[in-house]
Amino acid sequence: MQMNELGRTGLKVSRLCLGTMTFGEQNTQAEGHRQLDMAFENGVNFIDTAEMYSFPGKPETQGATEKIIGAWMKAKANRSDVIVATKITGPGSGLKHVRGGRLGFTRENVAEAVDLSLQRLGTDYIDLYQTHWPERPANYFGKLDYVHDEAADLTPMEEQLDALAAQVKAGKVRAIGISNETPWGMMKFLEIAERAGLPRIASIQNPYNLICRTFEVGLSEIAIREDCGLLAYSPLAFGALTGKYLNGQKPDNSRHHLFPQFSRYFKPNGIKATESYMRLARDHGLGRDALIGKLEVVYRRAIEDHHFTAAVARPVGVQIADGGNHAVGPPAKAVQVALVEGSGRVVSKVGFVLKQAKK
């Protein structure tokens, strides 16, 4: 497993990050621990979670994922070998169960959220602490057509950054990051940090896949020039790019079957794009199993882009990654987990890559 530096922090993280939002909902604690064991054994040292998980957020499972990770680290006595990333929940409907609905990024709320996450994780520090989405109204989670609200009651961004800085100063957080952020928000945080002498954001966790390539428009240049790398989540577009949901299929226990309300990648144009990618794969003689094996080459090529820090894999199971019938040797197991179940950053030159993979 190759490692990348997390921004300018000096922290070294694996190029695959194990996303854990299914722990406590689609996965039991035992299943979550098995995934963590396998990832760790194959060189993954980077784990991502959030205070609101399990997914989807609800009172009964809020905080469960952090507790499962904490129990695993305690059992393995490996805290110093793991880079743990978690997130503070932003404002939104249906989230009053998270800290009583106190979701603005004020100094008090950030301090409370950090302390609660530390308790659930069973640790005294968090390696990477991220805002899950902006406090201000903005375009994220697939939203288009930005609508400005000048009257919105918001925590000033300098105060937000100062609140995060206080946790760094207290030794409870080692590095800070953002998620589901816009180019303006990313640059604003960087500008404030430089002007006010506050900690820089080290990473941005946004979606990136063959259906959603918006990161390329305004964020990739910032990521490169400012050493603030991408943690790419949903690189298989909620599983859509596996092709398993085409023709109206919804396999039992699949995410889209269980949670159909999350339809970002299943609208007409997304389905049309997925069908085109599947045809392209078939045209080059790659069925699903062969494509999974060959895409390891694609993944290794893609992550050479230096604005890419890690891919956040959110597997549901490990049965495919344990070997299966794919022609991928043991060193690639962790890569295979990502490609099969939720990660791997596939670049846009798909035709060229598939031709190379066919050789």
Kindly list the catalytic residues: 53
The residue type found at 102 is R
DSSP reduced 3-state for 40: helix
Beta strands 229-233 and 12-14, pairing class: unpaired
User: Which residue reads 């226990």 in tokens?
Assistant: 253
In our burial notation (b when 16+ CB lie closer than 10 A, e otherwise), range 279-313 reads eebeebebeeebbbbbbbebbebbbeeebbbbbbb
Rg of the chain (C-alpha set): 20
Percent of the chain as helix, strand, coil, to the nearest 5: 40, 15, 45
Query: Please, what is the angle between helix 157-169 and helix 183-196, to 10°?
Result: 60
The residue type found at 237 is A
Integer Cα distance of 242 and 339 in angstroms: 9
Residues 175/202, Cβ–Cβ less than 8 Å:
yes
Structure tokens at 231: 């943690």
Residues 130/90, Cβ–Cβ less than 8 Å:
no
Report the candidate in 143, 332, 302 with the shortest Cα–Cα distance to residue 232.
302
Beta strands 12-14 and 3-5, pairing class: antiparallel
Residues 358/280, Cβ–Cβ less than 8 Å:
no
